[in-house]
Structure 1
Amino acid sequence: MHTFYIAPTSFGVGLTSVALGLVRALDSVGLRVSFCKPIAQQHASDQGPERSTQMIQQVMGFTPPPPISLERVEDLLGDNKRDMLMEEIVEQFDRAAIDADVVIVEGLVPTRAAPYVTGLNGDIAKTLDADVILVASGQEDSLSEVADKLEITADNFGGIQHRKVIGYIINKLSLEQVQQIEDSSSEVFDKLPEFRRKQFHPIGYIPWNEDMSSPRTKEIADLLQTQILYKGDIEQRRVTGKVLCARTAANICHLLKPGKLIICPGDRDDIILATCMAASNGVPLAGLLLTNGIEPHEQIMNLCKKNVQQHGLPILLTQLNSYNTATTLDRLNNEVPIDDRERIELVMNSVADKLNGEWLKERCGTEVEIRMSPPAFRYQLIKRANQAKKRIVLPEGNEPRTVRAASICHERGIAECILLGKTDEIHQVAQDQGFQLPESIIIMEPDIVRGRYISPMVELRKHKGLNAPMAEAQLEDNVVLGTMMLAQGEVDGLVSGAVHTTANTIRPAFQLIKTHPDAKLVSSIFFMLLPEQVLVYGDCAVNPDPNAEELADIAIQSADSAAAFGILPKVAMISYSTGSSGTGSDVEKVREATKIAQQKRPDLLIDGPLQYDAAAIENVAKKKAPNSPVAGKATVFVFPDLNTGNTTYKAVQRSADVISVGPMLQGLRKPVNDLSRGALVDDIVYTIALTAIQADQFSSRK
């Protein structure tokens, strides 16, 4: 499935018309096309639903998801909840993308009231990992100025050179501009070297078509709230121009042409008679608009009545004077009305005819590196956790961030959380933070339930000489108590670490949960939510110095975990050397681990040793590892030891202000996950969601 994000260079480029044309063009070349308008941007005169979505529904026969209101967007941005906004947009997109080969996503138009949408367009395109098509207008700019605007707008998406900025469409061109572009000697766009880039493609040049912006006479009547003296063909007649009559009839006869709206005061008998005569001669005028609230003389109307009725000339009356009428008409919204099926079809077909649909089809068939964006990753976490419906125990039940996270998880249906702690104390923590716990949250008091886990724990650890008093003492630790609940199958997963160390969290799991039969060791990964994509780092929390065999297992576990969460695994075995350039015991360990992993799992893309820059950056990869299937494209980074892994993850997290989710433990029979002691509430929520998904995967293996 492919995604095209349509973004304007400025206000008034005809973005909706181009989006509609793209849908028709791609549909015409045999692709299953869907459409998504993530955020509604209503015109001031709009009274009904968002127009792009409704027009697509009428013409194409499918129903795009309803867009988010601009008011909600501004509320979320004002509350610093940009991530939540992106998750909602991903949810919309996923609904639109069902069974589609390609999705057209219509972006936002920058206005004085909403200048922030320029940056928002860039964020949404990155989130959806979309190809970006820029849309400009030649109506008020020279071609040189259009080229400059395209280059400036491209900077919001990484620049014209960015692999995702694939081309441009120029709308509303004059015939002279079209001729200039078609002239082979023209160097308007070649003046910028970036425009010569093969992938930055001219997708379409669309000439101005008066009919595409011609309103029906009906829209004029609605705008001015006119009295309709004669309805005529008011639903079908279109206004291609306006004639404001101040001169005598003899001096305006040459202006009485098809599509013209004749405007004059109601006492101008000569203009009224001339207009009706033109109509009787077969001229399909748009209508006669009478001003100043003056109705024509009854005898004049009787004289014209037969011709008017026979030839369908609409006659309207407004209370405004002629000047104010003309001024108001200049403010008419030229966007296509939702119920104007004829004009919608005209726009779609006219624009589609000028677009290079075959090139776009080829682009859809081109393999493009698929990247999981952070909002998409978070959205998928929440969605899959909702479906899993698992019970997660939280041993740090009175810790404020944990209490808040548990509340959010219940409100959003992420998991059924069980807080370990004293009921009064936990409710007081919630009250101190200004919220009430949902009634569905379960609070278990350790002092009340501890006794029932003593015997089962003795049974699990009797080979280590554990007796009842020792078990009771260990169960004083809520992490141990929660782990026993997991071991007994009373809960599906455990999350801890907001106040406990990693060792405190995972030691009971090693002792009571044990490793999975298919795993030789327990390891960990972090999901690193970089600005444009999610990467997997392993092992950064558990194994201090794994040997080659263990490192190979960590690589395989990490690849499988990445795939389980929707990230295409391309595994880079990290070292201080790339390929065969370095020697030493450390690099040899990585080299051997790579061979072992490749032999065990030939279905996976695994390469190493690779330096971090060679694994992550395409330009560096071309120089250091040009033949590597992973270099420059790695999504899973496996570090040679804990010292390297932990240092790297923290350096990236703190220096780049990156959210990290984890560590997620791999290799246990049941999911236990650790938190950073600096974890934010959102970090805990996503870790709970991640744990619920793991639990669902474990149960499906049985």
Structure 2
Amino acid sequence: MTRSVYVTGIDRGDGRQVIELGVMELLTRHVDRVGVFRPLVHDDGPDRLFDLLRARYRLTQPADTVHGIGYEEAAALQAERGTDELVSRLVDRFHAVARDYEYVLVLGSDYAATSLPDELNLNARLANEFGAAVLAVVGGQGQEAESVRAEAHNAYRAYHSLGCDVVAVVVNRVAPEHRAAVVERLAARLPVPCYALPEDGSLSAPTVAQIVHTLGAEVLLGDDSGLARDARDFVFGGAMLPTFLKALTPGCLVVTPGDRADLVIGSLAAHSAGAPPIAGVLLTLDERPGPDIMALAGRLAPGTPVVSVPGGSFPTAGELFAIEGKLNAASPRKAETALGLFERHVDTVELTNRISVARSGRVTPMMFEHELIERSRSGRRRVVLPEGSEERVLRAADVLLRRDVCALTLLGDEEAIRKRAADLAIDLADAQIIDPQTSALRERFAERYAALRAHKGVSVELAYDVVADVSYFGTLMVEEGLADGMVSGAVHSTAATIRPAFEIIKTRPNAQIVSSVFFMCLADRVLVYGDCAVNPDPDAEQLADIAIQSATTAAQFGVEPRIAMLSYSTGTSGSGADVDKVRKATELVRAQRPDLLVEGPIQYDAAVDAAVAQTKLPESDVAGKATVLIFPDLNTGNNTYKAVQRSAGAVAVGPVLQGLRKPVNDLSRGALVQDIVNTVAITAIQAQGERPGAGPAA
């Protein structure tokens, strides 16, 4: 039977989209096929939340199946034929969705400008008819703790008294200073869990793009990154420049008549200097600075929006203050902020159990990625990113910080990093930034490196120059316990990333070599490929070591290891030096780790295809079910992982280095932002087995 959860409220303005997004995140961690159903919908435009869910979670559900009935049609139907007819029609449409999915997220009505009588009662009845658990949401914006407690208690009683299975109550948009009191009071009064999420101004702040769209503004300067910035405040220009500059706040939108070129240039210069970074400039009265001023503005703060409206400052102000930020597919950073807020303040394990989400029998790429984020958050570690000014690294850092995945240290020139982050509208307030050139740690690291490399004749003076390199500095942070792991390689070569690790961190006592694996996320499972990135032609002993390390890594990340030692021949059907190497390596694995399931030599098709395995190795416990595939050499492994990645549409997560005493991981120089996020999460998880979390470096 399809399970479902009905997210509903008692009034408008509860910011329920944050909760709906958070619940979808929980569902997609455990369930392969999740459907969405919104019983009642406004007919005045696209469904922004569904568009966000479809884009973020790669939903294939046809858009025309998501919605039940428009509010106007529902009101007319209810008035003409009664509530039973309306409910019956919505139940039919719900079941049309439910039969195609394992779980359905139902989005309750929004209480906004509708003519339906007793909307709460209708939501309760629909939840009961759908057989859905109810997650009740209450808005706490602008209310004192006792008022919020009473609202939440009333919401629970209302839905419970109407026969609903209320699994939890969420109070959203609570004043941060009242949150603890709200949680404490509700815990004593409600028989179900109650979670309280604090108000986050960045969620309600409109983006510059939203302001442009709402006001019909003309964009004179700015790129997509600039238009995606949140306008967290509005500063209206009228004073002389020295006084005006003191009024600027981080993330503000400057609103000024277009003939005040001094305020335009002053604002952009302040942004360029990072004191403070602004969202952009909005020019009123249809006045625009001359071409020379605009050219200077473009050079001062490239990408920063300068937009123009015909109206004056006063009517423009009225329109601006009426705009509220919305979660939609065009604002992915807001989604990351919302999820971070949800995950920090909701017991996701408890809620998952309460809404009865059973894990699917297969693991999809998205489920694997979700698991990485969840596990890395559960035991917070510090990861150092040496390429601190690289745009993809900064965008990944933005996601990691918003989701509270781990603590971050960025290396590089602090002024350059902060300026680049400001241009990208990225808030690095929670990140640590260290410049190896000027850090007080440089001398200490030089002494440590000189001691480690004394046998190679490295002096402290020479080491002082070496450790200023970001890769060496980051590696020494890991070695000295000032960070738990390092991720690099977006702009540096693999050698530049792992050579310092070989010299400083070195291999584990039980590892012969450093090797690597890729997690290959196929449509219905996750396979582990090793070694596809480090060792060109391992001998039998090294190949056995790679297999054992890869099995350990697989188990660490929830993949049950069944090892296939790959070759061009299966069983005893072939001979030759290459086959003999694999055969010997298989015997070594069995001797060293008799607890592991291993088969070899075996061909790829016999390893993963049950039908082929039945023909070639019918008695094998691994053939047809292999999860860890060990390639005989780098040429075979690297080409195979890329062929599977490109031809089968697999998500390749890695390379993940194994065998080092502490985690250091390399990126492809073509790595996407999500690749960096995944690799950092993997590094944090690897570090969880090393030691308690490292504190900030000095």
TM-score of the pair, normalised by structure 1:
0.52
Match of residue 7 from structure 2: none
Corresponding residue to 1:75 among 52, 55, 71:
52
The reply to whether residue 401 of structure 1 matches residue 392 of structure 2 is yes
- Counterpart Cα distance in 1 of 2:371 and 2:459: 44
Match of residue 439 from structure 1: 429
Following TM superposition, by how much is the alpha carbon of 1:36 offset from its aligned partner in structure 2, in angstroms?
Answer: 12
1:224–1:543 CA distance, 2 compared to 1 (3 A): closer
Following TM superposition, by how much is the alpha carbon of 1:473 offset from its aligned partner in structure 2, in angstroms?
Answer: 2.7
Match of residue 588 from structure 2: 596
Match of 2:545, as an amino acid?
D
1:499–1:111 CA distance, 2 compared to 1 (3 A): closer
- Counterpart Cα distance in 2 of 1:408 and 1:581: 51
Match of 1:588, as an amino acid?
D
Match of residue 419 from structure 1: 410
Match of residue 503 from structure 1: 495
Following TM superposition, by how much is the alpha carbon of 1:430 offset from its aligned partner in structure 2, in angstroms?
Answer: 2.0
Following TM superposition, by how much is the alpha carbon of 1:503 offset from its aligned partner in structure 2, in angstroms?
Answer: 1.3
Following TM superposition, by how much is the alpha carbon of 1:553 offset from its aligned partner in structure 2, in angstroms?
Answer: 1.1
Match of residue 475 from structure 1: 467
1:511–1:37 CA distance, 2 compared to 1 (3 A): closer
Match of residue 542 from structure 1: 534
Match of residue 369 from structure 2: 378
1:394–1:375 CA distance, 2 compared to 1 (3 A): same
Match of residue 686 from structure 2: 694
- Counterpart Cα distance in 2 of 1:519 and 1:663: 18
Count of residues in correspondence between the two structures:
397
TM-score of the pair, normalised by structure 2:
0.52
Corresponding residue to 2:553 among 549, 556, 561:
561
Following TM superposition, by how much is the alpha carbon of 1:700 offset from its aligned partner in structure 2, in angstroms?
Answer: 7.4
- Counterpart Cα distance in 1 of 2:447 and 2:626: 48
- Counterpart Cα distance in 2 of 1:411 and 1:700: 22
Match of 2:418, as an amino acid?
H
Following TM superposition, by how much is the alpha carbon of 1:539 offset from its aligned partner in structure 2, in angstroms?
Answer: 0.6
Following TM superposition, by how much is the alpha carbon of 1:486 offset from its aligned partner in structure 2, in angstroms?
Answer: 1.1
Say if 1:615 and 1:632, in contact at 8 Å, map to a contact too: yes
Aligned-partner SS, 2:408: strand
Say if 2:37 and 2:66, in contact at 8 Å, map to a contact too: no
Corresponding residue to 2:603 among 602, 606, 611:
611
1:539–1:339 CA distance, 2 compared to 1 (3 A): same
1:598–1:496 CA distance, 2 compared to 1 (3 A): same
The percent identity for this pair of structures is 48
- Counterpart Cα distance in 1 of 2:405 and 2:38: 33
The reply to whether residue 523 of structure 1 matches residue 515 of structure 2 is yes
Moved >3 Å (runs of 4+): 4-7, 34-40, 110-116, 222-225, 337-344, 368-371
Say if 2:40 and 2:67, in contact at 8 Å, map to a contact too: no
Say if 1:615 and 1:630, in contact at 8 Å, map to a contact too: yes
Say if 1:372 and 1:567, in contact at 8 Å, map to a contact too: no
- Counterpart Cα distance in 1 of 2:3 and 2:408: 42
The reply to whether residue 658 of structure 1 matches residue 633 of structure 2 is no
- Counterpart Cα distance in 1 of 2:161 and 2:38: 16
- Counterpart Cα distance in 2 of 1:589 and 1:630: 19
- Counterpart Cα distance in 2 of 1:400 and 1:111: 34
Q: Deviations over 1:629-662 (max 9, x none)?
A: 1111111111111111111111112223322111
- Counterpart Cα distance in 1 of 2:165 and 2:418: 60
- Counterpart Cα distance in 1 of 2:360 and 2:586: 23
The reply to whether residue 448 of structure 1 matches residue 438 of structure 2 is yes
Say if 1:39 and 1:70, in contact at 8 Å, map to a contact too: no
Say if 1:372 and 1:566, in contact at 8 Å, map to a contact too: no
Match of 1:82, as an amino acid?
Y
Say if 2:37 and 2:65, in contact at 8 Å, map to a contact too: no
Match of residue 679 from structure 1: 671
Following TM superposition, by how much is the alpha carbon of 1:460 offset from its aligned partner in structure 2, in angstroms?
Answer: 1.3
Following TM superposition, by how much is the alpha carbon of 1:620 offset from its aligned partner in structure 2, in angstroms?
Answer: 1.7
- Counterpart Cα distance in 2 of 1:374 and 1:36: 10
Q: Which runs of 5+ in 2 are unaligned?
A: 5-29, 69-90, 103-114, 119-124, 126-158, 167-358, 694-698
Q: Which runs of 5+ in 1 are unaligned?
A: 8-33, 47-68, 87-107, 117-138, 141-149, 158-163, 165-221, 226-234, 236-336, 345-367
1:112–1:379 CA distance, 2 compared to 1 (3 A): closer
Q: Deviations over 1:472-514 (max 9, x none)?
A: 2322321011111111111100000101111111111011001
Following TM superposition, by how much is the alpha carbon of 1:76 offset from its aligned partner in structure 2, in angstroms?
Answer: 3.2
- Counterpart Cα distance in 1 of 2:498 and 2:436: 20
Following TM superposition, by how much is the alpha carbon of 1:417 offset from its aligned partner in structure 2, in angstroms?
Answer: 0.9
- Counterpart Cα distance in 1 of 2:472 and 2:387: 11
Match of 1:73, as an amino acid?
F
Corresponding residue to 1:429 among 420, 426, 437:
420
1:593–1:388 CA distance, 2 compared to 1 (3 A): same
Say if 2:37 and 2:67, in contact at 8 Å, map to a contact too: no
Following TM superposition, by how much is the alpha carbon of 1:670 offset from its aligned partner in structure 2, in angstroms?
Answer: 0.4
Aligned-partner SS, 1:676: coil
Corresponding residue to 2:40 among 22, 38, 44:
44
Q: Considering only aligned residues, what root-mean-square deviation do their CA atoms show, in Å?
A: 3.9
- Structure number with larger C-alpha Rg: 1
Match of 1:432, as an amino acid?
D
- Counterpart Cα distance in 2 of 1:627 and 1:540: 29
